[in-house]
Amino acid sequence: MTSHPRLTHRIADATLTVTVDGAPFTGREVVVAQRDHRFLFGCTGGDLVPSTGDPNGDDPAVPQDERLASLFLELFNFATLPFYWGWFEPVRGRPETERTLALARWFKERGRLVKGHPLAWHTVTADWLKDLPTDEIAREQVARIKRETTGFAGVVDMWDVVNEVVIMPIFDKYDNGITRLCREMGRIPMVRMLFEAAREGDPSATLLLNDFDMSAAYECLIEGLLEAGVRIDALGLQSHMHQGYWGEEKTLAVIDRFARYGLPIHFTETTIVSGHLMPEDIVDLNDYQIPEWPTTPEGEARQADEIARHYRTLLSHPAVAAATYWGFTDGGWLGAPGGFVRADGTPKPAYDALRSLVKEEWWVPPTTLATDAEGRVRFSGFLGDYEVSAAGRSAVFQLEAAGEVSVAAAL
Amino acid sequence: MTSHPRLTHRIADATLTVTVDGAPFTGREVVVAQRDHRFLFGCTGGDLVPSTGDPNGDDPAVPQDERLASLFLELFNFATLPFYWGWFEPVRGRPETERTLALARWFKERGRLVKGHPLAWHTVTADWLKDLPTDEIAREQVARIKRETTGFAGVVDMWDVVNEVVIMPIFDKYDNGITRLCREMGRIPMVRMLFEAAREGDPSATLLLNDFDMSAAYECLIEGLLEAGVRIDALGLQSHMHQGYWGEEKTLAVIDRFARYGLPIHFTETTIVSGHLMPEDIVDLNDYQIPEWPTTPEGEARQADEIARHYRTLLSHPAVAAATYWGFTDGGWLGAPGGFVRADGTPKPAYDALRSLVKEEWWVPPTTLATDAEGRVRFSGFLGDYEVSAAGRSAVFQLEAAGEVSVAAAL
């Protein structure tokens, strides 16, 4: 199995040459500080905004709880926002564009990459599709994708184009238009159509295929799509662990299997609960409905440990480029205590555990270094954005490749 | 679900016009009798031949036990013979062609369709492949397929070209050359290569993809192969039921899912035991190794009932064109009591149950009919080969399509 726990594939050993007005800034102290990670540490961003209960209300959907928002921004450089068609356009022709765009802009203005999830899915899809003939469902789905990818271009730069295609055509829990479309078109022609629509809508966006099925079925789907020439930018792997932490061995084995295709791997949906585990015999997690699922002190300690192990594992594999946690606060999907933050707004030990990795162990804090006779300083740091400052001036630079690199900054 | 228990899709309502020397054979009695089924009732044929213990022995591999052979021939019009590479060519360059060819000819001479199983598989494959670089494994695999499909052309008319591709590249129980080849090439390019080699070796052969994985993984694999333009003649579905009979509902649901591709469905490997069931927690059936697995009277009654239900279910779905039972006698794979015949050579109730369907309920015995003024008789019968005889002459004809058909026979 591929695992490099020392994370050397994510660390640059940098020689930074500092100049001022074109001349080497020699024999002086500078302060180097990391500003962002290249790795995408993400989380669902929708729960920063309380539901108004009125999907057509005029409230701009931006975070009101400043403390919650700042906890989020401290930890994450990447936010996934909900684009479930059934919520986004409950009434045909009346999409919820403005509320979602306001929230996306709020993240974008704070330098966060924003992903939309999902553009096509058989669950939480628009109910009104059921009344349409299949060819019209196809036209509506394509139009919807073009509308969102065009309308959010420059704000939402990444999309889960389609969610859970493996089960899509054989999903039998309830009738819906998307399952019918997928069954009639076949998986590959449908995915090709969806990706072409998204690519046309925003040629610069990063487009993902996303699934919870970690079996050979997803491998076979991916292989079929790649053989058919469908261009996929990254593979999304869900990892809802309501029934227990996967552990390092399983996680690395899964990554190895999906890394074979040479595409970046995004862990798109990770949940690790801080309460009791969901019973093992539940197959569809949605079938587990209980009135209350409390967070507990023992559960929170276990969650903190497992989250730290999980992120260490993900970063240890060179193929993983992103990790999105599913549910910043408790009580979201399934009412599970899966958040980094309790229902009362206080952070759990898991929050501190991840923060100590992202902003301490894997982070270059402001560090004073002395330039040599050629204006150079040497330091090692995680790939990402950096700032160097001295004498009241500052400049930004990036560490983009692991190993020995030379970079320059003009103060 | 698709099921037509009355089997009208397999029955012709025939008007047969009989002529003698070009003139209608009017107002006379004729005898109509079915000679064969169009549906392929198959079984593994290798256990008619006792193992010599000497794979390089000179014994021609033809059945010696005449009673066993006639029990087989009474029930089946189709035989699957073993071509496991590890048995067929244990020493590189010394294939077991003659023994296998003798057995195949024995079936062919008795009017039975013969299928070879399999041309490529990661299990029971040639051990010596492990010592080769991957590109040489590919060359050897292609050469092996061309050798067998050419060498057995006209005798073996159907092939399981490749077995269990879903798990092939991620099979991790032991090192083998075929898993390595599949992992390096990818499933679709490898299957394309294998089918092209088989098609080139015998353009008139019927070529199958075969798998035990009935999940969406096999669907995704098939969809990928069809999108990639790989020409597959029939889809093989395994159904080893050592852990219990599937039942009508599951069986029909599986068939429906794989019938979507418009290809004929072959049930390639059915086993239903007449002893205790294998425990449910066994995942790989090969892991269940016990010293003795006896057939029991209660088990035999259950097996007979389930086999009759299983064949009724298969025939009720129009997509199913063949059903091969795995192991004519007890004690084959896993030592399971899965045969139609006990270890002592006596037939079980399941034998009589299937015989009463194939040769009675679904069969037209010699039947005397009177031709009308235009030399016609009318009768209904299962699709297949027929003979009409009168006045010391006889002629053969076929019923090839269900519903009202007109056929002619010249005595």
Contact A223 B187 (CB under 8 A): yes
The closest CB to that of A167, out of B189, B216, B225, belongs to B216
Give residue B2's pLDDT band: very low, low, confident or very high (50, 70, 90): confident
Rounded to the nearest integer, the mean pLDDT of chain B is 96
Q: Determine the residue among A172, A179, A223 to mutate to test chain B binding: the one whose Cβ has the most chain B Cβ atoms within 10 Å.
A: A223
Query: At CB < 8 Å, which residues of chain B contact A?
Result: 166-167, 169-170, 183, 186-189, 213, 215-221, 223-225, 227-228, 257, 260
Tell me what percent of the residues of chain A surpass a pLDDT of 90. Answer: 92
List the CATH code of the domain at B56-361. 3.20.20.80
Nearest Cα of chain B lies from the Cα of A166 at a distance, in angstroms, of 6
Between A and B, how many residue pairs show a Cβ–Cβ distance under 8 A?
Answer: 70
pLDDT, position B1? 76
pLDDT, position A59? 63
Report, as an integer, the average pLDDT of A338-353.
97
pLDDT, position B391? 87
The DSSP-derived string for A186-248 is -HHHHHHHHHHHHHHH-TTSEEEEEES--SHHHHHHHHHHHHTT---SEEEEEEE-TT----H
Rounded to the nearest integer, the mean pLDDT of chain A is 96
pLDDT, position B57? 53
- Per-residue pLDDT tens digits for A229-285: 999 999 999 999 999 999 999 999 999 999 999 999 999 999 999 999 999 999 999
Contact B187 A225 (CB under 8 A): no
Contact status, residue B201 vs residue B153, Cβ threshold 8 Å: yes
Is A204 a residue whose pLDDT tops 90?
Answer: yes
The closest CB to that of A217, out of B183, B188, B220, belongs to B220
pLDDT, position A52? 57
Tell me what percent of the residues of chain B surpass a pLDDT of 70. Answer: 98
Report, as an integer, the average pLDDT of B198-226.
98
Contact status, residue B76 vs residue B110, Cβ threshold 8 Å: no
Residues of B in contact with A189 (CB under 8 A): 227
Contact B213 A216 (CB under 8 A): yes
pTM of the model as a whole: 0.92
Q: Count other Cβ atoms within 10 Å, centred on residue A306.
A: 20
- Per-residue pLDDT tens digits for A68-90: 999 999 999 999 999 999 999 99
Residues of B in contact with A249 (CB under 8 A): none
Which segment of B10-19, B53-62, B227-236 scores lowest on mean pLDDT?
B53-62
Nearest Cα of chain A lies from the Cα of B220 at a distance, in angstroms, of 5
Higher pLDDT, A52 or A187: A187
The closest CB to that of B223, out of A188, A215, A219, belongs to A188
pLDDT, position B181? 98
Nearest Cα of chain A lies from the Cα of B57 at a distance, in angstroms, of 42
Residues of B in contact with A169 (CB under 8 A): 219
Is A345 a residue whose pLDDT tops 60?
Answer: yes
Nearest Cα of chain B lies from the Cα of A254 at a distance, in angstroms, of 11
- Per-residue pLDDT tens digits for A348-389: 999 999 999 999 999 999 999 999 999 999 999 999 999 999
Residues of A in contact with B162 (CB under 8 A): none
pLDDT, position B61? 78
Start-to-end C-alpha separation, chain A: 44
Contact A189 B260 (CB under 8 A): no
Contact A220 B221 (CB under 8 A): yes
Q: Determine the residue among A220, A249, A254 to mutate to test chain B binding: the one whose Cβ has the most chain B Cβ atoms within 10 Å.
A: A220
Give this complex's ipTM: 0.88
Contact status, residue B19 vs residue B374, Cβ threshold 8 Å: no
Residues of A in contact with B169 (CB under 8 A): 219
Contact B215 A220 (CB under 8 A): no
Alpha helix locations (H) across B21-132? 66-75, 85-88, 97-109
Angle at A180 between CA A176 and CA A181, to 5 degrees: 115
Residues of A in contact with B215 (CB under 8 A): 215, 217
What amino acid is encoded at B239 in this protein?
A: S
The DSSP-derived string for A10-54 is GEEEEEEEEEETTEE--S-EEEEEEEEESSEEEEE-GGGS---S-
Nearest Cα of chain B lies from the Cα of A301 at a distance, in angstroms, of 33
Alpha helix locations (H) across B208-337? 216-227, 248-259, 297-316
Start-to-end C-alpha separation, chain B: 44
